[in-house]
A and B are shown apart, each in its own frame.
Chain A
Amino acid sequence: MTARIPGDSAKPASRVVRPRASGRPWTFYVLAGFFTLYLIALYGPMISIYILSFQDLKGGLVFPMRGFSLHWFHELFYQTRTGDFSGSFRRSIGLAVLVTVITVVFSFMAGLAFRKRFRGDTFVFYLMIGSLVAPGLVLGIGIGLAFTLLGLQASWYTSALGAQLSWTLPFGVLVMFAVMSRFNNQWEEAARDLGANASQRVRLVVLPILAPGLVAVALFGFTLSYDEFARTLQTAGPLNTLPLEIWSMTLNVTSPSLYSLGTVSTVVSFFIIGLSLGSIVLIQRHRTSSRRAALDVHIGEKQ
């Protein structure tokens, strides 16, 4: 073949990044170095805070460490002068649980509803996205003002709950859309064909298949709510949630108990994530073990 293909043999080979003796091109080392810097910038400050939260009594807000103790954790839980930690913590958990439950139920139903086109479906969808892109602080102020206007007392379980849902619901529904895109409608139709009624179809087919996705929605809902700040700031009422409490502490607390607060809330986050992933594993293990049990019954019958 004599015809030249443009870009094939015509281009000089020296333009190509050549592997060095070690087998990796120089670009690899540049990118690896860049990535390392990124990791340090991302995790360095956090890890410093976790370490500093174990400062001893004489220690300050910065390195060096002057011995190790759990003093500042103790202070956090039992000293009220550092702020209402345990109260705000309980409120944040309660609020996050409420938000999670509502988000999961609503997202599941929205996911089912949006499988078919219906009148005004695009409008509803954009309405949802709208509340997602609206600046959180402004939205929070708006809700706060509306409550004042109506003469209602703002509180974490009314106005703050609503403000947070404006953020978690669209997120949950979007995650649900991604989950539903892999749901084959023929599964439900097959169940109907085999005689399952509407509630059996949801209980025995739709829910179990979507369960891992719903756990993901729950995790999203919980973590988004647990450290939500902007929307909650003007809507929480007289009692603070944890992120608001941390923020006010940064203004007036100058002891490492601020750091121990960061450590505790991180531990809680990891605990929740572990719980979610653990539940997915449990669901799967339950399925295999119930099959194994069934198998044992069968073998027993044969003997």
Chain B
Amino acid sequence: MKTGNGDIELAGIVKSYDDGQTYAVNGINLKIPDGAYCCLLGPSGCGKSTILRMIAGHEDPTSGEIVIGGENVVGLAPVERRTAMMFQSYALFPHLSVRDNIAFALRVRGLSRSDRYRKADAMIEKVRLTELRDRLPGQLSGGQQQRVALARAAITEPRVLLLDEPLSALDEHLRIRMRTELRSMQQDLGITFIHVTHTQLEAIALADIVVVMDKGAIRQSGPAREIYSAPRDRYVAEFLGGQNVLSGRIGEINGVRATMNGALFSEVAIPLPAGKRLETGQELDIAIRRDDIELKPLSQKGMLPADSASVEGTVNGIEYQGNFVKVMLQAAGEDEFVAFVPERKFFEENLAIGEKVLAVWQISHTQVMA
């Protein structure tokens, strides 16, 4: 069911309130290719929902252009934009049956009863709700409600589907199941999905493009793997999680490596990233993935391989996670320096709280950030 070009371009979008006193969204530029699954990720109040509502046509930007399929849609009604929105708590009409909810868009277009029910029933079958067709929304579970909401939006044959925190109303277990369902639905329909969430796991599991936002601006956008493993700055690294961030100044630079000194650590070797000029004395953040950290006894300090860097730390917390163990350290002046130790390995070594250890990683695994 391909229904026209759903590539989106946001150009210089600004949304301000109170006559320019406060900005919900401040200067957003973003391109989303047709048929992509895009997640807008950020804490509440970062402007991600406002962007979604502006693309949907429920709010107008103060300035800037929203281009869908090559056409500026600012000022057009949602139907004219050929977008459809799935609301946070689904906003199913409580007085209409599943079937009438799904057929609503066809009803307001003036289709006859038999026509709209024929089309609605085809859609109902697609989302496997045939048995529940005559129920009211109040009689459905959260997962079923989500499917109704999806079907109700999809029946308008949109080229872009906008989802506002679609999984937040569900419990943990169902969330993971419906996540998979959303992705397969998107592949079925072959249209652009824009999904707003504050859960990083949801975003990286689903999206082709993850857009990390903060205070009305984009901090980084790109494929999920790039965002997770190569965060551009401290904010992105900490929001996505799974990284230890160290702040310091560049010490010596020699050819392919440099050293970095922080308040509570010194002489940590970092790689020189290609295309970025570093100077001695420059302030810098680096990130090291928590699963790249190996914990070794302090006695091995002088015997580390040449391609590794390390900091000293004290174990101040241990959490068993099943497939790995989360070991929290007081290290390098950071509140939370964490190593994800493989489960079997952890129980071979038997670390205890209060023990001093060496956190070691390969220099080439360091992500140098702005």
One of A23-31, A200-208, A272-280 contacting the partner = A200-208
Q: Please indicate the chain B residues that have their CB under 8 angstroms from the CB of A208 in the complex.
A: 95
Interface status of B234 (Cβ within 8 A of chain A): no
Interchain CB contact under 8 A, A194 and B104: yes
Closest to B164 in A: A186
CB distance A189 to B89 under 8 Å? no
Contact between A184 and B89, CB atoms less than 8 A apart: yes
Q: Enumerate chain A residues within 8 angstroms of B91, measured Cβ to Cβ.
A: 184, 186-187, 189-190
Contact A186 B152 (CB under 8 A): no
A191 with B104: CB separation less than 8 A: yes
Query: Is there an interface contact between B108 and A294, defined as CB atoms closer than 8 Å?
Result: no
Q: Check B94 for interface membership: any CB of A closer than 8 A.
A: yes
Would you give the 0/1 interface string for A193-232, flagging 1 where the beta carbon is closer than 8 Å to chain B?
1111100100011001100000000000000000000000
Q: Are A193 and B84 in contact (CB under 8 A)?
A: yes
Decide yes or no whether B58 CB sits under 8 A from chain A: yes
Q: How many residues of A contact B (CB 8 A)?
A: 24
Does A297 interact with chain B (Cβ within 8 Å)? Answer: yes
Tell me, yes or no, whether B346 is within 8 Å of chain A by CB.
Answer: no
Question: Given A194-B156, A195-B156, A204-B107, A295–B93 Cβ distance below 8 Å?
Answer: no
Taking the closest CB of chain B, its distance from the CB of A209, in whole angstroms, is 6
* CB-CB nearest in chain B for A203: B108
CA distance A298 to B113 in the complex (A): 11
- Determine which of B56, B78, B94, B134 lies in contact with A209 in the assembled complex, contact meaning CB atoms within 8 Å: B94
Chain B residues within an 8 Å CB radius of A287: 95
Residues of chain A from 286 to 302 with CB closer than 8 A to chain B in the complex = 287, 291-292, 294-295, 297-298
The CA-CA distance from A20 to B53 in the complex, in Å, is 63
Q: Which residues of B contact A193 (CB under 8 A)?
A: 56-58, 78-79, 84-85, 153
Least CB distance from B338 to A in Å reads 34
A90 at the interface (CB under 8 A from B): no
A298 to B89: give the CA distance in the assembly, Å.
30
Give the chain A neighbours of B21 by CB distance below 8 A. none
B117 at the interface (CB under 8 A from A): yes
Across the two chains, which residue of chain A brings its CB closest to B80?
Answer: A195
Report the nearest A residue to B81, measured CB to CB.
A193
Report the minimal beta-carbon distance from A203 to chain B, rounded to whole angstroms: 10
B311 interface hit (Cβ, 8 Å): no
Interface of A is mostly: helix
Asked whether any CB of chain B lies closer than 8 Å to the CB of A115, the reply is: no
Pair A190/B121 contact, Cβ less than 8 Å: no
Also in contact, A186 and B117, with CB within 8 A (given A194-B108, A208-B95): no
**B84 and A189: CB pair below 8 A?**
no
Chain A residue, CB-CB nearest to B135? A291
Tell me whether B277 is interfacial, beta carbon within 8 Å: no
Contact status B99-A294, CB under 8 Å: yes
**Knowing A184-B89, A195-B108, A298-B117 touch, does A189 contact B95 (C-beta < 8 A)?**
no
Residues facing A in B53-101 (CB within 8 A) are 56-58, 77-79, 84-85, 87-89, 91-95, 97, 99-100
B108 and A204 contact, CB distance less than 8 A = yes
Determine the chain B residues whose CB is within 8 A of the CB of A192 once the complex forms: 58, 77-78
> With A204-B108, A209-B93, A295-B134 as given contacts, are A190 and B85 in contact (CB-CB < 8 Å)?
yes
Known: A186-B87, A189-B58. A195 touches B105 (CB 8 A): yes
Q: How far apart are the CA atoms of A233 and B56 in the complex, in Å?
A: 57
B117 touches A200 (CB 8 A): no
The yes or no answer to B22 lying at the interface (CB within 8 A) is no
- The CB with the most chain B CB atoms within 10 A, among A186, A193, A195, A196, is that of A193
B109 within 8 A of A: yes
* CB of B323 within 8 Å of the partner chain: no
Of all chain A residues, which has the CB nearest B100? A291
- Is A294's CB under 8 angstroms from B117's CB? yes
Contact with A along B147-163 (1 / 0, CB 8 A): 00000110010000000
Query: In the bound complex, how far is the Cα of B109 from the Cα of A193, in angstroms?
Result: 12
When distances are taken between beta carbons in the complex, the residues of chain B under 8 Å from A195 are: 77-79, 105, 108-109, 156
Chain B residues whose CB sits within 8 angstroms of the CB of A187 once the complex forms: 91, 93-94
CA A194 to CA B113, docked complex, whole Å: 17
Contacts of A196 in B (CB 8 A): 104, 108
Write the chain B residue with the least CB distance to A189.
B58
Q: How far is the CA of A295 from the CA of B117 in the complex (A)?
A: 10
B254 within 8 A of A: no
User: B299: CB under 8 A from chain A?
Assistant: no
Q: Is the CB of A298 within 8 A of B85?
A: no
Bits for B114-125, please: 1 = Cβ < 8 Å to A, else 0.
Answer: 100100010000
Q: How far is the CA of A194 from the CA of B104 in the complex (A)?
A: 7
Contact (Cβ within 8 A) B114 A194: no
| Residues on the A chain within 8 Å of B107, using CB | 204
Q: How far, in angstroms, from A204 to B121 measured CA to CA in the complex?
A: 20
Chain B stretch 161-195: residues in CB contact (< 8 A) with chain A: none
B84 contacts A186, C-beta separation under 8 Å? no
CB < 8 Å: which of B78, B114, B134, B156 contacts A297?
B114
A186-B88 CB under 8 A given contacts A192-B58, A193-B78: yes
Per-residue B-contact encoding for A161-201, CB less than 8 Å = 1, 0 else = 00000000000000000000000101101111111110010
**Chain B residue nearest to A295 in the complex (CB):** B134
Our pick among A184, A194, A205, A292 for the contact of B84 (Cβ within 8 Å) is A194
Name 20 interchain pairs, CB-CB below 8 A, sorted by A.
A184-B89, A184-B91, A187-B91, A189-B58, A190-B91, A191-B108, A193-B56, A195-B78, A195-B156, A197-B108, A204-B104, A204-B108, A209-B94, A291-B99, A291-B134, A292-B134, A294-B113, A297-B114, A297-B117, A298-B117
Nearest first, the 5 A-B pairs at minimum CB distance are A186-B91, A195-B79, A194-B105, A190-B91, A196-B108
- Please name 11 further chain A to chain B contacts, defined as beta carbons within 8 Å, in addition to the given A209-B94, A291-B100, A291-B134, sorted by A numbering: A187-B93, A189-B91, A190-B91, A191-B104, A193-B56, A193-B58, A193-B78, A194-B153, A195-B78, A287-B95, A295-B134
